[in-house]
Structure formats: C-alpha cells, structure tokens
Structure 1
Amino acid sequence: MLTISSDANLVKWAFDTWRSALLEEGIRDGYLWRLPEQRIVFRNQPDAKSDKLDLRTALGTDPTGACWAVQINEAEKPGDPNKLSSIALDENDRPFLLRQGRLVPRVAGNEHILEAEFRALTGLTPEAVKNGDTPGKSREWYIVTPLDVSADEIRIATGRFVDICAKARERGATGNGALPDTTPIAGMGNDETGGTYTVGARDAQDAKQIRKQQGEVWFRLAVMLREAGIAMDKPRHARGYEVDAVIAGPTDSILLEIKSGATAADVYAGMGQLQLYPKLLPQLSRHQLILLLPSLPQQALVKAVEESGVRLCTYEFLDERGELTITFSGQFKEICGI
C-alpha cells in the first residue's frame, strides 16, 4: 500500500530529486534535453526556452519534441489527487513518483486515454494507493520510479514509463499502420540475477560512453527517418529486452541493431541479439536483419555475417570538442527508403 504525501517539504525534495536526475545526464539540444541512454527527450512545459525544469515537465520518445508522450507535473498543492502526478510513501517510508493512468490528448478536442483504456493499452496493473481518490471518483496510480535509488536508476525507470506511455498513444491511434504492433507490454520486470561481481571504474565509464554513443546514433537516425516520413519503432519486451529499432522499409520492415564498435566482440554481440530478438518478439520473425557498425569488421567476419542472412551497414561518428557529426552510409539510407 502506498500513501500519497501532502508534506510540502518531502514533496518538493522528491520532485527536485527526480528533476535533478534527468538534468544530470540531459544534453541540451535547442529547446529540449536529450537522454541518449534512455532515448527520450524532455523540456520545461510550457516555457520551452527555460534552461531549467519547473513544476511541469513534458517527456517523449519523439526526438524532435513535436509529440509528447506524457507530462509529469508537480501540483501547487502537495497531495492533491486532482493532479495527475504525486509523491507517495510505502510502509517503509520509501518515496515513489506516481502518475495517474490517463493521458491528455495532444490535440484539443481529441479523446483522452482514460483508466480502463490505459490499463488495456499498457498491460500495467495500478498500485494500491491511499489518499489517491477524489469524491465520487476512483483514481488509478502507477509507479514512474522509486526516488531513494541512484540517479541512473531514476532515469532508467522514467525512460521505461515514458516509452510505455508513447506506445499506449500509438496503440490507441487510428489509421497508423506504418509498422506492425511489435511490443508486448505485459509488465516491466527485469530478469532475476544471482551472485556478485566487480567492475572496475574504467570499464564502467567506458560502458557508459558506449551506451551514450549508441543513443546519439539512434537519435540522429530517428530524426533523419522522421524527416523522410519513415516510421521507426523501439520495441521493448515485457522482460526488459530492448530492440534498437524497427524501421518501415520500402519493401520489408527492418530489424536494426546498432553497435559503437566493429570488433569481433561487437559483431558477436550484435549477431546474437539479431538472432534472439525474433524469438523473444515473434512479430519480428519476418523482418530484414541489419547490423549497423561505425566501420566494417575484418573480411572473414563480413563474409560470415552476410552468409547468416544479416546485412552489414555503416555510419560515421565524429566527436570534435563536444560537437557531434553522425552520417549514415548511402547503402543504409537506400535500404531504409531514403
């Protein structure tokens, strides 16, 4: 059981903690911030020019920020269940950021996604919440993220919730049909793990930079495809396995895996993912498989990959004093329909 808090100091600390976690790794891009690892964007709402986050924050997966998935807003009166976001504590006083299971339409006059439809579109189960209802109205609340965890964990959990809200909007839209429905979303649980191991600080930092590079490539690809009118999806399995991209190609849909290197290890990992994902997500079984690398690996690997039915494509990633330049090969753009 969670209890919504009306303690002004606690609520302010909780929202500030959440906003700080986003801004800690957020990369300012025009009027947006990007989180490359989580592949989401956010901004202060409604003042997009603001260089800080205030009471209202819009978040989404559209890299241009044209279509927002969800807003998470701090109520002026802490604990007000009429507002769609709140801070709650569990029996052990652990703080959580909550969001109601309803989505306001992007265009005035369109229908809201209300509780029953939100539940059906996301596959999520609402939490038992005390003080979460209003007179004559039962409200349904969902956990966005716990707040007594690391900033990285807050960003990961927030990214998952934003992703699920974006998928709910796509599923609820009519006349889309550019891509097949590829996202079974019957929960967000992670695989169980056992035992312990130690990762050195250098390796951890390197891994983080790799995730950022992949995220930056994904963002640039998403923008390029959107400008060309080509649909791109980011399916996520219920157990947390995440495909880099599914693209509505001119002939066949494309299942894409992005790597930040072209070593044998990168190729092995990418090939394994491309072979496993269609088993985890059967809707992907007929997709064209593409492994996107910053350069081609040694010739023996190129031949082996191509003989396995996977196409190798390349991109160029330049980072000069923080200025990124990412370009995709003509072959890859042609396969995508550009």
Structure 2
Amino acid sequence: MLTIVSDTNSVKRAFDTWRSALLEEGIRDGGLWRLPEQRIVFRNQPNAQSHTLGARTALGTDPTGAYWDVQINEAEKPGDPNVLSAIAHDEKGRSFLLRQGRLTSPVAGSKPILEDEFRARTGLAPETVENGDTPGKRREWYVVTPLDVSADEIRFATGRFVDICAKARERETAGNGMLPDTTPIFGFGNDETGGTYTVGAQKAQDAKKIRKQQGEVWQRLAIILREAGIAIDKPKHASGYEVDAVIAGPGDPILLEIKSGATAADVYTGMGQLQLYPKLLPQLGRHQLILLLPSLPTQALVKAVQRCGVRICTYEFFDASGNPTVTFGDPFKEICGL
C-alpha cells in the first residue's frame, strides 16, 4: 500500500533526490542531457537551455530529443492526484516516485494513450495507492523508481520506466508512418549505448573504465541522421541476431556494421556479419552494405572487401577528458543523404 505525500518539504526533497541522480551522470549535449548507460535523454521542459532541472522534466529514448516519451512533473500543490506524477511513501516510510499510466500523443491531433491501453501495452499492473483517486475518477499509478536507493539504482529504474513508455508508444508511432519501410516483422533492438564499462581488478592491475566507443559512434550517428529527418533503426531477428543499423538513405537503404578497430580481425568479423544478416533477415537483401571503421585497413583488405560488394567508410573518434567526439567522413555522410 502506497500513500501520496502532501508535505511540501518532503516532496521537494524527494524530487531533488531524483533530479540529482539523473544529473550526476548526465552528459550535457546541446539543450539536453544523455544517459548513455540507460539509453535515455532528458531536459528541463520549459527551458531547454537551463543547466538545471526544474519542476518539469521530459524524458525519452530518441537521442535527438525530437520525441519525448514521458514527462515527470512536480505538482505546484504537493499531493494533487490531478497531476500525473507524485511522491509516495509505503508503510515503512520508504519514498517512491510515481507516474500515472497515461501518455499524451507525440503526434498532433492523435488521441492519448489512456489507462486501459497503457496497461494492455505494457503488461504492468498498477500499484495500490490509498489516496490516489479524485472524486469520480480512478487513477492508476506506477512506480518510476524507489528513492531510498543509490543514484545508480534510481537511474536504472528511471531508464526502465522511460523504455516501457517508449514501447507503449511503438504501435501508435508505426501506425502514423514514423518508422521507415525497412521495418522487419521481427522487431527492433534497443538503441546502442555509449558511456563506459568497468574491467575488474586483476593481479597487479587496478579496475578501470573502458569507453563504449561503438555505442558512442552509434548514438552520434543517430542524432545527426534523425535531426536531418533520416531514419535509422536496429532490425532484430526473432532468434536474437541484431544488426548495428539500417539507414533509410537517399538511394537504396543501407545496412551498416560498426567496428571500434580496423584490424584484420575487425574486418573479418564485420564482413561475416554483413554477409549473413541479409540471409537471416530477407528484408535486408537489397541494401547497400557498408563497414564503418575508425580508419582504413591495409590496401589488400580494402580491395578484397570491395570485391565482395561491401564499401568501407570511416569515422574519427576522440575522447578528451571523458567528453567523446565523433566525426564521420564525407563519403559516408553523402551515402546517408547528409
């Protein structure tokens, strides 16, 4: 049993805890922040130029921030169940951030996703909230995240909830023509993640963080393509095989494989994937095949790859003081229609 909190100071502290957890690892990128590990972006909704988060926060899985999946808004009057977000306590006094199961449509003029549909699309069951209803209206509340946990756990739970809201919107999005005609019947994988991962300590070697170069390249590419109105997605086979990217280029669509190195092993692996994926996903059979590397391999490999009908393109990756920068070669950008 949860009870929505109406004490102003308690609610403010709880929302501040949540916002601080997001900002702690948020990477500032223009008018938004990215959380690569959780595959989400967020911003101060009234003022995208603000370097702090206020009472209204928009969150989504589109790395450009063009489409937001859900807003978490702090009510002017704490405890007001007419506002879609709230802070609640359980019987032991633990704090939770709640959100109602209804979403406005990202497409102007389309109907919102209301409680019954949200429940059906997500498969979630709403929480029991003692004072969560208004006269004549039953409200359905879902936990976004517990707040009496670590900042890492708050970010993880928030990312999961945003992803659930994004999945709830998928059918509506597809029905409004917002996905490319390369959509496979087997579904999509998640956007690639950037950020870092930790290699555990070994004998005479301390633990260290490793930059997820391939994920950072994917996210930067997704941003510049989607800002230009060019679709990029990750088709996925029912057995779990997942391509790096399909891009709706100006000519034939592009099947892209990204590697973080340009060694012979990187080329062999990428070539194998590019040759196999069209057989696993027949919809990819007419696509241009591109292998995207941080530099060109040996000339012998370049010529061999070309004879197989695959084109090698390049990108540059810099990681200065934890702020990765990715740029793409002009030939690759031209193929994509940039």
Residue-by-residue CA offset, 1:205-254 (whole Å, 9 max, x unaligned)? 423xx23x44442332123212442112357999x998754433456655
Contact 2:129 2:141 in 1 (8 A): no
Greater CA drift, 258-267 or 75-84: 258-267
Residue-by-residue CA offset, 1:271-296 (whole Å, 9 max, x unaligned)? 999899999xx8x5643676644235
Alpha-carbon shift at residue 25 of structure 1 (Å): 1.7
Alpha-carbon shift at residue 181 of structure 1 (Å): 6.2
Residue matched to 1:69: 69
Amino acid at match of 1:206: K
| In 2: Cα distance, 1:103 partner to 1:38 partner | 21
Contact 1:37 1:215 in 2 (8 A): no
Alpha-carbon shift at residue 326 of structure 1 (Å): 1.9
Residue matched to 2:178: 176
Cα distance, 1:7–1:204 mapped onto 2, change above 3 Å? farther
Residue matched to 2:52: 52
Contact 1:38 1:215 in 2 (8 A): no
Alpha-carbon shift at residue 56 of structure 1 (Å): 0.8
SS of the aligned residue for 2:43 comes to strand
Whose Rg is larger?
Answer: 2
Cα distance, 1:105–1:263 mapped onto 2, change above 3 Å? same
SS of the aligned residue for 1:129 comes to coil
Amino acid at match of 1:200: A
SS of the aligned residue for 2:135 comes to coil
Residue matched to 1:130: 129
| In 1: Cα distance, 2:140 partner to 2:272 partner | 40
- Indicate which of 206, 211, 235 corresponds to 2:209: 206
Residue-by-residue CA offset, 1:145-184 (whole Å, 9 max, x unaligned)? 2333332332233233323333433421323342426786
Alpha-carbon shift at residue 73 of structure 1 (Å): 0.8
Amino acid at match of 2:200: V
**Cα-Cα RMSD:** 4.4
Contact 1:2 1:127 in 2 (8 A): no
**Aligned residue pair count:** 320
Contact 2:122 2:168 in 1 (8 A): no
Residue-by-residue CA offset, 1:257-278 (whole Å, 9 max, x unaligned)? 5454456887799799989999
Q: Does 1:232 align with 2:236?
A: no
TM-score by length of 1: 0.72
Amino acid at match of 1:61: T
SS of the aligned residue for 1:83 comes to coil
Amino acid at match of 2:177: G
| In 1: Cα distance, 2:186 partner to 2:146 partner | 24
- Unaligned segments of structure 1, at least 5 residues: 186-197
Cα distance, 1:106–1:229 mapped onto 2, change above 3 Å? closer
| In 2: Cα distance, 1:241 partner to 1:8 partner | 49
Cα distance, 1:82–1:328 mapped onto 2, change above 3 Å? same
| In 2: Cα distance, 1:128 partner to 1:10 partner | 21
User: What does 1:1-338 correspond to in 2, within 5 Å?
Assistant: 1-90=1-90, 93-106=93-106, 109-120=109-120, 122-131=121-130, 132-173=132-173, 174-179=176-181, 180=183, 199-200=200-201, 205-207=208-210, 210-211=211-212, 213-233=213-233, 245-249=245-249, 256=256, 258-262=258-262, 286-287=283-284, 292-295=292-295, 313-320=313-320, 325-330=325-330, 332-333=332-333, 336-338=336-338
Alpha-carbon shift at residue 72 of structure 1 (Å): 0.6
| In 1: Cα distance, 2:275 partner to 2:122 partner | 26
TM-score by length of 2: 0.72
| Identity among equivalent pairs (%) | 72
| In 2: Cα distance, 1:51 partner to 1:243 partner | 35
Amino acid at match of 2:230: I
Cα distance, 1:337–1:50 mapped onto 2, change above 3 Å? closer
Amino acid at match of 1:45: Q
- Unaligned segments of structure 2, at least 5 residues: 189-198
Alpha-carbon shift at residue 319 of structure 1 (Å): 3.8
